[in-house]
Structure 1
Amino acid sequence: MTLSDLYQLENTFIPKLINALREDMRSSKHGEAISFQVLRPVISLLNEEKRYPGLSLGQLMKGTMNMAISLQISKYGNISAESVGETVYEKYNQERRHWFVGYNEALKAIGPLSEKDALDIAIPVIKRASQSCLYLTPCVPHTLNLYFSYLQKLDCNFIPPQIPTGNTFAQWNHDQFHSFNSIDSSSLLNLSLFAVKKYELPREILPIDLQEKLDCIPSVSRNEENKEETGTCFSNCTIV
């Protein structure tokens, strides 16, 4: 798939994702806080894509679902070590704590939450949550189904797993809550754009708005590149 194809795929799926998020908001399969703290702000983000050029559509979908699921579990206690298995439970809680570093403090400091505030404090959570595996649950099924359709477009051999069903306000078992390692293709577009920028490759054949995305990527000097190569590597679980 070429760079232009990837870009076109994302543009095609943006309105579909907006519709899927709205369907999940109308479904009443989750607490009201999820709509206000995650789903509605993400819809506003999709209408202003240039605000966060480093967050691709695939990352946005996965991070949004993980954040929504976590808020649901926090409010309704859907899982326990006994219901989903101690290993899965402990792994999820470790990741969740990393995703939400600083979130509750920011939420309390803001007070009454506007849509812009909700988006601003959700973005760091979504970014961190997008780096983890995706947790499959009965929550946000329309968005999950669209995400699988997106992955099928990236890889025609991809066979989506079954979407869990059940009461989203009750206790889940291991069939209703488990991790899924999705195709790590969400950053392909941004990596390709970075390569075009870094190596000064021809950009004339790219669409105008894709060329504008290139202008949002900072140039990396040779000295900065060497520092990155020789610097310390931090894990995804670094406390920020």
Structure 2
Amino acid sequence: MTFDNVLFHFFIFWYICGVILLSFDLLPPWLEWANAVFLILSGLLAIVYFTKVFGRTGYLISMGIFIVSYLAEFIGSYYGILFGEYYYTDRFAPNLFGVPIAIGFAWLMVMGSSHALAAAITGKKLLQPVIGACIAVIIDLIIDPVAFKLKKYWIWEEAGVYYDIPFSNFLGWFLVAFVLHLFILIFPPNTNVLWEMRMFLLFALTIAMFVLLAITGGLWPAGILTASLAGLILYTALKRKPA
């Protein structure tokens, strides 16, 4: 079995274990690091996806996404630019320059899955960055409330209508994702149906995991809203994707 398939199956195993622990409220405090591992594995799957679709250039794309997103998070948490006033706690360690390393991998997951979905939804290249950025924001509609309200991975220092999260955060997510999708657009892609479908699955499983956390934590509106929008995105992508 190749490395990419081993990685994928290990991710599925890790995911199933996480769902069981979360569903029965069996996750002890000392095992909180498992959530960071989940995001890192998700990011590694996105790297594989980019290499399958773009060849060796996929490593350059992945590096660009990691560096730009990490820099954006660093600037955002230190200077309040892009996302609003917030700071990371030590509950999502290890941190590098005050930003959790898992955040860069989380952005890889967001970009890999949103790219695959946007490409399936429309063949018009200039529309893909807009659609991809919108999908990224949909992912954040569930990640942010769970990470902020339930997990305390970061703390917002200014209020907002949506779970005390400022609107600037979602605008910042859209802008960063849009720029990264424009960057990806520079490179000519190939077709890899298997890994495109695995990105669809990664999107669905990530949304499902955070929706589960939201519902068990009492954040029902966020769970219902995100599940509905994510379901619409997946339905549209699967319907329009050529057989």
TM-score of the aligned structures, taking structure 2 as reference length? 0.29
Q: Which has the higher helix share?
A: 2
TM-score of the aligned structures, taking structure 1 as reference length? 0.30
Which structure has the greater CA radius of gyration?
1
Relative contact order, CA 8 A, sep 6+: which one is greater? 1
